[in-house]
Amino acid sequence: MTKRISPKDMTLPPDAITPNFRENAITVLNKRYLIRDQQGKVRETPQDMLWRVARTVAAGDLAFNPTAPIADLAWDFYELMASFDFLPNSPTLMNAGRELGQLSACFVLPVEDSMESIFEAVKQTALIHKSGGGTGFSFSRIRPHNDVVHSTKGVSSGPLSFMSVFDCATETIKQGGTRRGANMAIMRVDHPDIMDFIKAKADLTKLNNFNLSVAITDEFMEAVKTDGDYALVNPRDGEIVKKQSAVKVFRQIVKQAWQTGEPGIVFIDRINAKNPTPAAGTIESTNPCGEQPLLPYESCNLGSINLANMVADGKVDFQKLGRTVEKAVHFLDNVIDINRYPLPEIDRVTKRNRKIGLGVMGFADLLTTLGIPYSSPQAVGLAEEVMHFIDKKALDYSITLGEQRGAFPNFPESIYGRQNPAAPVRNATRTTIAPTGTLSILAGCSSGVEPLFAISFVRRVMDNTEMLEVNPVFERLAKAQGFYSEELMRQIAKAGSIQGLEEIPLKVRQVFETAHDITPRNHIDIQAAFQKYTNNAVSKTINFGHEATVDDVQGAYLLAYELGCKGITIYRDGCRANQVLSTAKTDKPHEAAEPAPPVKRDRPRSLTGKTYQMATGCGQMYVTINEDDHRRQFELFNFVGKAGGCAASQCEAIGRLVSLAWRSGMAPEPIVKQLIGISCHKPVGFGAQKVMSCADAIAQAIRQHIEAASGKGGRTVNGEAQGFGACPECGGAIEHESGCCVCHSCGYSECA
């Protein structure tokens, strides 16, 4: 029963439930979400934050009813969030009730074929990133490189050159100190520069603030199936430039994705076939993670229901789920009206269609609680059943709000208005499956509709203290069945999976599958099941093992199309680390270079370098790093003052192997990743100065060396090493989930 609170007293009641945030979540909240004073000291509790958000969003009812009982509604919204049944997207948690007041996560901006439009979009991007949002663009309207420019009688530099301008602008902005800029760049597959676009991130030092996706047409996919040609069209005049082999282009997309994880693809014709407001425009782009197709100047606010909390008596509690959906739709609709948009155009277009994106998190936890393997047909069936229920309930409640508040202004010309004018839908879209990397850390559940990240993993907190994190469902079950031990949990953390551990019952192993225990087909089946009943799109990463072939990736792309997905993003384990090896050049300008085998460089007679003194448990270590004439790391020597026997020999072995790797062309970042944090029985120091072992000391010396050489502080190892799996904030492992890079140790998200 709703608790009565006096509208004049909007303070949180003393008997309000206290949100049970885990320690990791508290760290994330303190770092990114909670209000700070002028000295940077946190002056808000997590409970205060949720109440700030709840009462601010509840006040949106006053626009429709000046006497609305908003105190009661605020209490409902607070309980919804404090119980972790639902959480809105990060900008809402950060900014509701604060001066900035920008609550949306997703924006799409138009980029037309003129200098004025391009640089206006750059300016608008800066304003959006400053406010905490991410941006998507289609660069398909910009004429290709070397095309004519009539006004100057010169030639065009092409869309890729302008993408670099957006990338530089994003790099400069810190998004109010809480969220890093993220962009999506999309290009139609029939653009003349498509081959260059596909390979734009083959060099992983380029366009680091962009995700790339190719907009695939149905015509192109038919040409792929028949091994036919398709037309490349100049967007400046609509003229066909030439015919191109669809298979050749498709193969290049696949090969590049196999090598680096990008580009992804979006099936743009399928997206527009489901466009609810075709009279308002054609959809050309999505938000940075691909789950939210939007018209130019549209924004969308997202939120996720925690399915892990929707279980009662060993089955899905659809009654509770239905109530949660209704409250969440009400919450998100209010956000549209109280939001302070960064641009007046966004305010106008957003309110014309009033799109919201209600999604889910904790799906993997739901499955494990019910004893259902992620890779089973039962999981696919449950995904369809749950999402069908959420989608229908969200539409029903949107109609209820439409009857009370009015349909979205573009309703008469929408697909809903034409089909059933008597059902005034409040929101043009209601459902989206978004990545929930940070939200799932706050709620203590699995991310989005992804499988489990890990059953157990070691988390390193600020002072380098290591803490063991165990999936709560697995921990409860292990203790109940009597096979729990910290030693076993650490063994699982090291192995990354429980498959093959015979001390764990077979049925438990079958249920608790992680991302790499299942096949790409299992991933796609789940994505397609959720997509069937999702208005917008589903953000998900299809994980491949390192040994996967180009043909395996191609099969996944084709399967995603056949099963009705609106796009697909893949990631092959360790693929980006391969990019540090030199690659052979090709005489064919539009074909990807095959990786060449590494070649060991001969040692010149003299080299220059630096020596670093590192304190270790075995005594003072002196690490010498020598470079060649091109300032590339060439060799490493180390000497430990008091060490002898095994310690000295192991350090010498590390030095030889590091030297061999560098002389064969490997970059330092993956070496740091492999050695950093290795511990022994004699650590030395505290906090940031702590050295866990001789191996850790060598890694820290390498990191100091390349940071000093780059002049970028910690960004060379921690920032640019994202492609190698190192978190730029805590050094933990980066996982690729829902089309984004996230760190489960500290809550960092590349896509913010």
Q: Which helix (H) or strand (E) holds 480?
A: helix 472-481
Burial 103-119 (b: 16+ CB within 10 A, else e): bbbbbbbbbebeeeebe
Q: Are 739 and 434 in contact (CB under 8 A)?
A: no
Q: What is the 3-state secondary structure (H, E, C) of 160-187?
A: HHHHHHHHHHHHHCCHHHCCCCCEEEEE
Question: Packing angle between helix 520-531 and helix 550-562, nearest 10 degrees?
Answer: 20
Burial 199-231 (b: 16+ CB within 10 A, else e): bbbeebeebebbbbbbbbbeebbebbeeeeebe
The whole-angstrom separation of Cα 497 and Cα 512 is 9
The 3-state DSSP class for residue 608 equals strand
**What φ, ψ does residue 235 adopt, rounded to 5°?**
-70, -20
Q: Are 486 and 339 in contact (CB under 8 A)?
A: no
The whole-angstrom separation of Cα 121 and Cα 155 is 22
Cα 200–Cα 206–Cα 209 angle in degrees, nearest 5: 100
Residue 571 CA to chain centroid, in angstroms?
A: 12
Active-site pick, 79, 262, 284, 291: 291
What is the residue-wise DSSP string for 23-62? HHHHHHIIIIIS-B-TTS-B---HHHHHHHHHHHHHGGGG
The whole-angstrom separation of Cα 332 and Cα 239 is 44
Q: Are 163 and 207 in contact (CB under 8 A)?
A: yes
Report the DSSP pairing between strands 229-233 and 285-286: unpaired
Report the DSSP pairing between strands 134-138 and 183-188: parallel
Q: Does the active-site annotation cover 291?
A: yes
Report the DSSP pairing between strands 541-544 and 567-572: parallel
Which residues are bridge partners to 242 per DSSP? 232
Active-site pick, 183, 211, 275, 287: 287
Residue type, 665: G
Q: Are 749 and 438 in contact (CB under 8 A)?
A: yes
Cβ-in-10-Å burial (0-12, 13-18, 19+) of 234 comes to middle
Question: Packing angle between helix 645-663 and helix 668-675, nearest 10 degrees?
Answer: 150
> Is the preceding peptide bond at 263 cis, omega within 30 degrees of 0?
yes
What tokens does 180 get? Answer: 């890093």
Active-site pick, 289, 727, 730, 741: 289
Residues 6 or more apart whose Cβ sits within 8 Å of residue 550: 251, 254, 255, 258
Q: Does the active-site annotation cover 635?
A: no
Which residue bears the tokens 């309930």?
Answer: 393
Residue type, 20: N
Q: Does the active-site annotation cover 740?
A: no
Q: Looking at the annotation, which residues are catalytic?
A: 287, 289, 291
